[in-house]
């Protein structure tokens, strides 16, 4: 990483935001650990978060480790599925480093961030991460491996999506059953969507905040709506030396077909990359979005269960107030 802007310019830019949340994202941000330390030393933020492959997680100094509000760790399930996607030995290295920071007393939110791909079984893999105790994950999140690869590389995409939906049905059933404990399972794509279903308070924008309340500062000081596709023309919206945070708010809202969808207020819309590019075409875009409608419909079945438990004093509605900050989870898979 070669940062070409002066850190004073970043300080001046973020000073215009009364409560900045800074997320370290890559690439791999821990390859620039000293720069991460400098930012944490010099910029007062409401919270700091980290997305990492965790291969160097054990090397973070204590004074910085314990200031991280959340750590999102790339892991796809158990040993076999993680190593099949990320290379042999990855699972053991990642879990060893997680145990190391647990033993150092880290109390922040540890989130397993899964890339759900062809080798995955969403019920098997998410359940594994939710139930493992060593290391322990507070929450599990996933993103579908769609719209990033070539459509031609898929041999049975429809079958894969149907299996995924079947797994979601089983996961939602477990999620609803967990309400009786007073603490729902830490399934990130479910919790905030369920809160909307429970309260009727819809999301005003895409749930990850990209283009609305969340932006990416590139290594040259350029401001993009999100970090995943800097080469695309929609992505660049400013520069830290020339832009003000308030001017960026809502600069790129999600567009059609999300804006024409009857569940937009619940979902918020798919990611801006897929929405803006339609990389696999409208038909496949809509088919993938059907998986979100399926998730919403399954979650809706659990609303009466939650309402009854809340009335009985078993469950407090506040348990669905997650995430308390934008911690880097896209929410919608």
pLDDT tens sequence across 315-332: 999 999 999 999 999 999
Of residues 22 and 233, the one with the higher pLDDT is 22
In which domain, by residue range, is 293 found?
159-206+253-314
Mean pLDDT computed over 122-130: 98
From 90, 214, 81, select the one nearest 145 (Cα to Cα): 81
Q: Does some domain include residue 285?
A: yes
Instruction: Please report whether residue 7 resides in a domain.
Output: no
* Higher pLDDT among residues 308 and 233, named by residue: 308
| pLDDT for 232 beyond 90 | no
In a domain, 174, yes or no: yes
The answer to whether residue 135 sits within a structural domain is no
Q: Average pLDDT of 64-84? A: 97
- Return the structure tokens found at 60: 């973070």
Kindly state whether residue 263 falls inside one of the protein's structural domains: yes
**Stronger pLDDT, 233 or 4, i.e. the higher one:** 4
Assess if residue 32 is contained within a domain: no
Q: Does any domain span residue 191?
A: yes
Taking residues 8-28, report their average pLDDT: 95
How many domains are contained in the chain? 1
Q: What is the mean pLDDT of the chain?
A: 95
Q: What is d(CA 312, CA 303) in angstroms, rounded to the nearest whole number?
A: 14
> Roughly how many angstroms between the first and final C-alpha of the chain, as a whole number?
29
Q: Residue 262: inside a domain, yes or no?
A: yes
Query: Which pLDDT does position 176 carry in this prediction?
Result: 98
Is 140 in contact with 70 (CB distance < 8 Å)?
no
User: What's the rounded mean pLDDT across residues 273-279?
Assistant: 91
- Distance CA(95)–CA(190), nearest Å, equals 25
Which residue did the predictor score with more confidence, 177 or 145? 177
Taking residues 34-61, report their average pLDDT. Answer: 97
Q: Where are the alpha helices (DSSP H) in the chain?
A: 7-14, 33-42, 62-65, 79-86, 90-103, 122-131, 157-177, 191-199, 245-248, 264-267, 272-277, 281-300, 303-311
What pLDDT sits at residue 1?
Answer: 65
**Which string of b and e fits 78-112 if b means at least 16 CB within 10 Å?**
eeebbbbbbeeebbebbbebbebbeeeebebbbbb
pLDDT above 70 as % of the chain: 100
């Amino acid at each position: 990483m070669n940062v070409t802007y002066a850190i004073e310019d970043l300080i001046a830019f973020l000073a215009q935001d009364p409560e900045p949340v800074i997320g370290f994202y890559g690439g791999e941000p821990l390859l620039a650990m000293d720069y991460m330390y400098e930012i944490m030393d010099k910029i007062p933020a409401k919270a700091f978060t980290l997305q990492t492959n965790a291969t160097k997680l054990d090397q973070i100094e204590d004074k910085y480790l314990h200031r991280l509000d959340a750590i999102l760790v790339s892991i796809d399930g158990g040993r076999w599925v993680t190593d099949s996607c990320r290379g042999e030995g990855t699972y053991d290295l990642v879990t060893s480093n997680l145990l190391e920071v647990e033993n150092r007393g880290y109390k922040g939110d540890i989130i397993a961030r899964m890339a759900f791909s062809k080798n995955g079984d969403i019920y098997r893999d998410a359940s594994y991460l939710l139930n493992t105790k060593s290391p322990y994950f507070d929450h599990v999140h996933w993103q579908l491996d769609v719209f990033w690869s070539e459509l031609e590389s898929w041999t049975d995409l429809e079958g894969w999506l149907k299996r995924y939906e079947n797994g979601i049905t089983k996961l939602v059933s477990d999620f609803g059953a967990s309400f009786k404990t007073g603490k729902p399972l830490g399934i990130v794509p479910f919790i905030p969507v369920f809160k909307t279903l429970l309260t009727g308070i819809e999301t005003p924008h895409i749930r990850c905040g990209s283009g609305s309340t969340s932006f990416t500062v590139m290594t040259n000081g350029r401001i993009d709506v999100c970090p995943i596709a800097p080469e695309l023309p929609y992505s660049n919206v400013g520069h830290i030396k020339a832009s003000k945070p308030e001017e960026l708010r809502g600069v790129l809202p999600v567009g059609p077909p999300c804006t024409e969808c009857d569940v937009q207020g619940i979902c918020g819309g798919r990611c801006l990359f897929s929405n803006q590019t339609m990389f696999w075409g409208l038909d496949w875009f809509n088919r993938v979005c059907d998986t979100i409608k399926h998730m919403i419909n399954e979650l809706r079945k659990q609303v009466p269960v939650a309402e009854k438990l809340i009335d009985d004093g078993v469950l407090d509605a506040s348990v669905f107030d997650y995430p308390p900050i934008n911690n880097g989870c896209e929410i919608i898979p």
